[in-house]
Amino acid sequence: MSGPSSTPRGEHAPRPGATWETALVRVEQLVDDDAPDPAPPNRATRRALKRAARRKRK
C-alpha cells in the first residue's frame, strides 16, 4: 500500500439519497371483525421498523 500523497483530494459529494432523512410513520387502522388477518410485513419493512426503533432509543 502506498503512503499519503502530497496533493489533497477534492471534495466528494455523497451519492443522491445517502443523506436524506426518512421518517416512518405508523398509522392506526380500523379493521372489521370479519376481515381476514392482514399479511405480515415483509423483511424490508421489519428491518426498517427495527432500525427506526433503535434510532428512537438513542
Q: Is the predicted pLDDT of residue 47 greater than 70, yes or no?
A: yes
10-46 burial, b at 16+ Cβ within 10 Å, e below that, comes to eeeeeeeeeeeeeeeeeeeeeeeeeeeeeeeeeeeee
pLDDT of residue 20: 67
Q: In angstroms, rounded to a whole number, what is the distance separating the alpha carbons of residues 49 and 25? A: 10
pLDDT of residue 2: 64
CB-CB contact of 49 with 41 (8 Å): yes
Q: Is the predicted pLDDT of residue 41 greater than 80, yes or no?
A: yes
pLDDT of residue 50: 94
Q: Helix, strand or coil for residue 50?
A: helix
pLDDT of residue 46: 93
Q: Across residues 33-46, what is the average pLDDT?
A: 88
Q: Is the predicted pLDDT of residue 10 greater than 80, yes or no?
A: no
Q: In angstroms, rounded to a whole number, what is the distance separating the alpha carbons of residues 38 and 54? A: 25
